[in-house]
Structure 1
Amino acid sequence: MREDESPKDRFVTVYGFRPVLAALTDDGLTIDKVMVAEGARGPSVREIVATAEARRIPVVRVPPARISLLSGSPRHDNGVLADVVAPQMRSLAGALDRRHHERPRTLLLLDGITTPANVGMILRTATAAGLDGIVVPHRGVAGIDPLVVKASAGVAFRAPILRSETAADAAERLVEAGYALVGLSADAPATLFDLPLPSHVAFVLGSETTGVTADVRRHVAEWVRIPMPGAVESLNVASAAAVVSFEVVRRATAAGARS
């Protein structure tokens, strides 16, 4: 692990009886550890502990406050959580470090998207499209919790998620690394379909209510719109992400056909 990475850049933490047990019974997932609140009892806790021990996954008893702090959802964590290894999740800084590997080419940057269902659907769509990464900041965007995992149909565990502290931090780092930031705006003069695609690009997806935040907006090099001839003002942000992701696929497919 890089010096500037932390455990929260490597694990998806799930909590609550059903999400934890579902992760434990999925043989395709690697679980780093299970935490159980001291004093937590009952058949569900016993089943979780027994399942973890059968898979030789460490079970750690911790104060209930520790579980609540890590889950951020004391009403719903049931006193249990599990750290699931996310093999493609890493820090954005690590992904941009050219000393170890080739940098990702096409990214999505999430800014102010706080609805878990939207984040989950974006992760699923972008992963299906084969994008190189989805930048999900730790602050200002819905955390990757059981609601996001559910909305992604489990894809969140395996999605190429890149972590930064905030969207503004990510935008600044990406520009310094030579990426062009492209924002979506309904009133932009240029369309997504006419945009010359830079070799390294990050599409910025902002909140449906407030759009791209000012601290990120100042780093955006170009704005494009998704043409909508029908009588609809805008798309849900997850739908917009799908259009962007598969426009990238279409161009790559067309380029492959010409070569």
Structure 2
Amino acid sequence: MNNQIYGIRAVIEAIEAQQPINKIFLQKGLGGDLFKELETVIRKNGISCSYVPIEKLNRLTKNNHQGAVANISPVAFQKFEDLVEKILQEKKNPLFLLLDQVSDVRNFGAIIRTAECSGVDGIIIPKSGAAPITDDTVKTSAGAAFKVPIAKVDHLKDAIFYLQSSDIKVIAATEKTEDTIYTLDFNTPCAIIMGAEDRGISASVLNLVDFKAKLPLLGEIGSLNVSVACGVFLYEVVRQRMQ
């Protein structure tokens, strides 16, 4: 698959055709009516965008980019509400995974792989700030990126409200609690939130969750890699549901 689209009109048409775009690079200082139309379409659709020097665009492609290059995801994204409703109709105890600003593509790939192995029904990420799905992501996921439905949302907070209104309890993986994962009951419809590699889950998101839980850390290092921590959380769900 060609993972790149270049040219202002081509990028506009790709957006309007709802292609799974990871990110768009635009040339700094460029103007004109068509370029402004592209900027409007990008803002309207909430697509991640960076303004870069022309030299950056020239490195991205040797073709006539006209000041615009879009990176296309190798994986098609699901519509969030449709995904949730479909899974709720099919399963008694669905399991969703929300990622709050996880930005490393290999961590993302490793998380997707573990999610597929542990029976996660859908992964939800924000449109802005999340790691893109690249060839490296797919490779690290061992192909699981093609098997686990992934949905992008404008704001993770809106996704939390929607899940809670669907009787799905939302659990944050955070050290900012006294409760460990071994005190929670995962034998209900639930969604687990994992936070960014460096900052964890944002405070505004933490304020909305139903439960918070941490992993007991018995050594001197204060945290686990996010993909490892995610695996421990997901397999506690598996352990409880297999009993």
TM-score normalised per structure 1: 0.65
Deviation of 1:235 (Å): 0.5
**Structure 1 residue aligned with 2:105:** 116
Paired with 2:240 and 2:87, the residues of 1 have a C-alpha distance of 29
Of the three residues 148, 173, 179, the one matched with 1:184 is: 173
**Structure 1 residue aligned with 2:52:** none
**Structure 1 residue aligned with 2:24:** 72
Q: Between Structure 1 and Structure 2, how many residues are aligned? A: 198
What are the Cα deviations for residues 32-78 of structure 1, in whole angstroms up to 9, with x where unaligned? Answer: xxx6x58xxxxxxxxxxxxxxxxxxxxxxx96766998553654466
Deviation of 1:140 (Å): 2.5
Describe the SS at the equivalent of 1:190.
coil
User: Are residues 144 and 120 of structure 1, via their aligned partners in 2, closer, same or farther at CA, if it must alter by over 3 Å?
Assistant: same
Gaps of 5+ in 2: 16-20, 26-56, 64-69
Does the aligned pair in 2 maintain the 1:14–1:145 contact within 8 Å?
Answer: no
Aligned alpha-carbon RMSD (Å):
3.2
Of the three residues 144, 158, 167, the one matched with 2:156 is: 167
User: Are residues 235 and 100 of structure 1, via their aligned partners in 2, closer, same or farther at CA, if it must alter by over 3 Å?
Assistant: closer
Describe the SS at the equivalent of 1:163.
strand
Deviation of 1:157 (Å): 2.0
List aligned pairs for 1:76-155, cutoff 5 A: 76=60, 84=74, 86=76, 89-97=77-85, 101-102=89-90, 105-155=94-144
Paired with 1:168 and 1:83, the residues of 2 have a C-alpha distance of 24
What are the Cα deviations for residues 133-161 of structure 1, in whole angstroms up to 9, with x where unaligned? Answer: 21122223112222322322332122222
Does the aligned pair in 2 maintain the 1:175–1:219 contact within 8 Å?
Answer: no
Paired with 1:224 and 1:235, the residues of 2 have a C-alpha distance of 14
Does the aligned pair in 2 maintain the 1:14–1:81 contact within 8 Å?
Answer: no
Deviation of 1:101 (Å): 2.9
Does the aligned pair in 1 maintain the 2:88–2:94 contact within 8 Å?
Answer: no
Deviation of 1:191 (Å): 0.9
What are the Cα deviations for residues 76-98 of structure 1, in whole angstroms up to 9, with x where unaligned? Answer: 46669777565xx5222002226
Describe the SS at the equivalent of 2:163.
helix
Does the aligned pair in 1 maintain the 2:195–2:201 contact within 8 Å?
Answer: yes
User: Are residues 83 and 137 of structure 1, via their aligned partners in 2, closer, same or farther at CA, if it must alter by over 3 Å?
Assistant: closer
Deviation of 1:221 (Å): 1.3
Describe the SS at the equivalent of 2:218.
coil
**Structure 1 residue aligned with 2:226:** 237
Describe the SS at the equivalent of 1:189.
coil
Paired with 2:143 and 2:13, the residues of 1 have a C-alpha distance of 22
Following superposition, which runs of at least 4 residues in structure 1 exceed 4 angstroms of deviation? 62-71, 77-86
Of the three residues 233, 236, 240, the one matched with 1:251 is: 240
TM-score normalised per structure 2: 0.69
